[in-house]
Amino acid sequence: MSKPTVSFADVISHSRRFLPWHANVASLQETTGAEWIEEKKAELISVNVTGVLLAGVGSSAFSWPVIESAPWTTQAALYASLITAMIAVSSGTQQYVTLSRIRGERLRVFQALLRGDKAVQSHHLYVWQMPIMLLSFSIWYLLIGLLILIYARAAASSAWGPDAKIAVVSGLATIFAFGNYLIGAATVYRLNAHLYSGKHNISVDPPVVQTSASWP
């Protein structure tokens, strides 16, 4: 009995479901251009607010006394986090203003450009996912910089001093938080793949319209 073969094209096709803009591809195919724009604008507002807060945290970190004696990698990571957060806010603001101006005939042209005749243009959707992607990188840069700072101080201290204890507790907290992050990310990606794949066998009842009771 021959085993089924899997081509490279099949692997690429299935792996695309885990790309960050896959949900947006399916969302645009299932909704109208106006609905997609409203969803994207709400997302951009969240990105801009979070980016501003993250930039504030990154800039205030340079006022910490320990930063002056921190390794250069920590300072580089903090600078990278601050720069990436500001670019994410700038990109998100630019896209929000652009989407707010799309109406009428321009809305139909915009939807046609993204959707195309057969499939959504992936490079266009990559651009529209860029603010949240940059924000995610900014968060990771900040976390990496903090971890480098913590473990560099622990390595330079005594065998079991306060810095070593801080490193252990911080390491356990990081492992716990990162494990939960992976579980949440995997669940979200699987949910998106299930919702937009069209291959589920779940029957969805139509919504029940409630009418006001009539008096006899």
Locate the domains of the chain by residue range.
14-197
pTM above 0.75, yes or no: no
A 10 A CB-CB count for 123 gives 8
3-state secondary structure of 2: coil
Q: Report the C-alpha gap between 160 and 174 in whole angstroms.
A: 20
Cβ atoms of 98 and 39 within 8 Å: the answer is no
pLDDT at position 206, please?
A: 55
pLDDT at position 115, please?
A: 66
pLDDT at position 213, please?
A: 46
Residues with Cβ < 8 Å from 51, sequence gap 6 or more?
85, 86, 88, 89, 92, 131, 135, 138
Q: b or e along 195-214 (b: 16 or more beta carbons within 10 Å of the residue's beta carbon)?
A: ebeeeeeeeeeeeeeeeeee
A 10 A CB-CB count for 52 gives 13
Regions in the chain scoring below 70 on pLDDT: 1-32, 114-122, 196-216
Q: What is the pLDDT of residues 95-105, one digit of tens each?
A: 999 888 888 77
Distances (CA, A) of 57 to 18, 61, 78, 148, 154: 30, 6, 10, 17, 23
Cβ atoms of 43 and 21 within 8 Å: the answer is no
Q: Using DSSP, how many helices (H) and how many strands (E) does the chain show? A: 8, 0
Closest CA to 149 of 135, 167, 137, 165: 167
Q: b or e along 80-103 (b: 16 or more beta carbons within 10 Å of the residue's beta carbon)?
A: bbbebbbbbbebbbebbeebeebe
Residue type, 77: A
